[in-house]
Amino acid sequence: MILKKFVGSRAFYSKMFAVLLPVLIQNVITNFVSLLDNVMVGQVGTEPMSGVAIVNQLLFVFNLCIFGGLAGAGIFTAQFYGKSDRQGIRHTIRIKLCIAAASLALFLTLFLTEGEELISLFLHEGQERLDLAATLGYGLDYLHVMLIQTVPFALCQVYASTLRQTGETVLPMKAGILAVFVNLIFNYILIFGKLGAPALGVVGAAIATVLARFVECAVVVLWTHRRRDRCPYIRGAYTTLRVPGALVKQVAVLSLPLLLNEVLWSGGMAALNQCYSVRGLEVVSAFNISSTVSNLFFCAFLAMGDTVAIIVGHLLGAGELERAVDEDRKLIAFSVVLSMAVGALMAVLAPMIPRIYNTTDLVKTLAGELLIVSAVMMPVNAFTNACYFTLRSGGKTVITFLFDCVFLWVLNIPLAFTLSHYTSVPVVQMFWMVEGLNLLKAGLGLWLVVSKKWVNNLVGRA
């Protein structure tokens, strides 16, 4: 009887996999190519790899700002779709465009004026005396080209998020797959100077990413406008940019905590990495390898988070509140079990994967040990991720802000800062301690989900 509460029917899993697999496949391919990209940059040397890693950490803040800014409107998109309200979806598209444009303007100004200072925060001498000035130069070269891709990235996310929230998960997957292969091919050509092209190193890697972003954006935008039978809400989406004031207010109330959460969370992750970087540039390189590899394995539970948001959001919008609670519980259970299997595989492979990098033995050893920590903690992080998306699907964005971001800044970062600046605790043990705090976060997430405070229909019955 208890098992039935956590295990769904065949029809339930068919629906879940219909949403999960396209997102998962896209994420796996994207992160696998990112791993290959990372390895190729690593062939140029440890300093170039570190410079690129630092810049990507900074751009990660921008990426999550876009995701967070669009997420509030996305909650309404999913529920308007569940209600079959096309005009409501059009309004959310317009709001998303305005949010994306404002985010672009803010971050481009920040990166263009303060880029060198931001990169320098991560540059510290370590055991192997790597060249900090060269690392800064590589980072700046990479950043200046990568800023171009922020424009197509932001526009693509407006369209792709809307497609996913209205049940069209396959097209964004296909566009993402195409983009990562464009990135991979041009990485090979431009980093190493193949097929008559000059060897551009980190600049070549940046150019390849820019090309891939434009390809992905073009595919998603053109498909949406040409498939108006499947995307009827796009008709008239640009006849005006006016949105009902009441909806703007509702979206703002939900979006602001999500936007702050994503910016402060991603900024918090950058702050954590900055704390770890105090132990030397080789630690930056090790964390770069570890995070790139981990992201490939994390695709399992991250895709489950999107699946929770879409399925539960549709049920809440359709007014099926009890069913939303039941299916959410089963989705969370599946996410945890899946991450346990994936985490076990990651732990087995952890000592071997860093060997493919052209870097020092110390960096490889550190990276392998960090991967084991991430593998052990994966089920815990899968559970907290599913709880986060559960709360968000019901519009509890203030609670998600407290749950996700405040926890990071109040507990994780102060512990990492204290350990890195005032103790001699080795970086791997430091990582264990900081990650271990997420056990408390999991307990908090369980309480919030069981309380059912997130069970809300925000758009009314159809």
pLDDT digits (tens, 9 = 90+) for 74-102: 888 888 887 878 888 888 898 899 889 99
Whether 438 and 384 have beta carbons less than 8 Å apart is answered as: yes
What's the pLDDT at 1? 58
Read off the tokens for 32. Answer: 């696998």
CA angle, residues 392, 404, 402, in degrees to nearest 5? 85
Q: Band of the pLDDT at 238, cuts 50, 70, 90?
A: confident
pLDDT at 56 over 60: yes
Q: Report the distance separating Cα 32 and Cα 44, nearest Å.
A: 19
Q: Where does 272-388 show beta strands of DSSP type E?
A: none
- Rg, Å, the chain Cα set: 22
Q: Report the distance separating Cα 127 and Cα 100, nearest Å.
A: 42
Biggest distance spanned by C-alpha atoms of the chain: 66
Nearest to 70 by CA among 167, 144, 157, 142: 157
Q: Report the distance separating Cα 350 and Cα 337, nearest Å.
A: 20
DSSP calls for 327-359: HHHHHHHHHHHHHHHHHHHHHHHTTTGGGGSSS
Whether 322 and 6 have beta carbons less than 8 Å apart is answered as: no
Question: Per-residue pLDDT averaged across 116-144, rounded?
Answer: 82
Question: Per-residue pLDDT averaged across 177-188, rounded?
Answer: 89
Read off the tokens for 189. Answer: 């050509």
What's the pLDDT at 126? 58
pLDDT at 289 over 60: yes
Question: Per-residue pLDDT averaged across 216-230, rounded?
Answer: 92
Whether 76 and 251 have beta carbons less than 8 Å apart is answered as: yes
What's the pLDDT at 124? 75
Q: What is the pTM of this model?
A: 0.75
Q: Report the distance separating Cα 418 and Cα 104, nearest Å.
A: 34
The count of other CB atoms within 10 Å of the CB of residue 444 is 14
Whether 195 and 189 have beta carbons less than 8 Å apart is answered as: yes
Q: How far is CA 321 from CA 29, 167, 457, 460, in A?
A: 35, 19, 8, 12
Read off the tokens for 81. Answer: 């779709």
What's the pLDDT at 123? 80
Answer positive or negative: Cα dihedral of 204, 124, 277, 106: negative
Residue bearing the bigger pLDDT, 145 or 176: 145
Question: Per-residue pLDDT averaged across 422-428, rounded?
Answer: 92
Question: Per-residue pLDDT averaged across 163-192, rounded?
Answer: 88
pLDDT at 435 over 50: yes
pLDDT at 373 over 90: yes
Residue 164: burial class (beta carbons within 10 Å; 0-12, 13-18, 19+): buried
Name the residue with tokens 């407006």.
Answer: 158
Q: Report the distance separating Cα 429 and Cα 341, nearest Å.
A: 24
Helices (H) and strands (E) in the chain, counts: 17, 0
- Between helix 46-83 and helix 132-146 the angle, nearest 10°, is 30
pLDDT at 23 over 90: no
Q: Report the distance separating Cα 375 and Cα 313, nearest Å.
A: 30
List alpha helices for 166-194, DSSP H. Answer: 170-192
What residue segments make up the domains of the chain, in order of their start? Answer: 2-450
Q: How many residues does the chain have?
A: 462
Look over the chain and give the mean of its residue pLDDT values, rounded to a whole number: 87
What's the pLDDT at 127? 59
Read off the tokens for 426. Answer: 């080795």
What's the pLDDT at 310? 85
Whether 282 and 354 have beta carbons less than 8 Å apart is answered as: no
What's the pLDDT at 384? 93
What's the pLDDT at 462? 42
Q: Band of the pLDDT at 129, cuts 50, 70, 90?
A: low
pLDDT at 459 over 70: no
- Percent over 90 (pLDDT), the chain: 35
What's the pLDDT at 371? 95
- Side-chain-side CA neighbours of 271 within 13 Å: the count stands at 19
Residue bearing the bigger pLDDT, 251 or 201: 201
Whether 29 and 21 have beta carbons less than 8 Å apart is answered as: no
pLDDT at 403 over 70: yes
pLDDT at 362 over 70: yes
DSSP calls for 14-73: HHHHHHHHHHHHHHHHHHHHHHHHHHHHHHH-HHHHHHHHHHHHHHHHHHHHHHHHHHHH
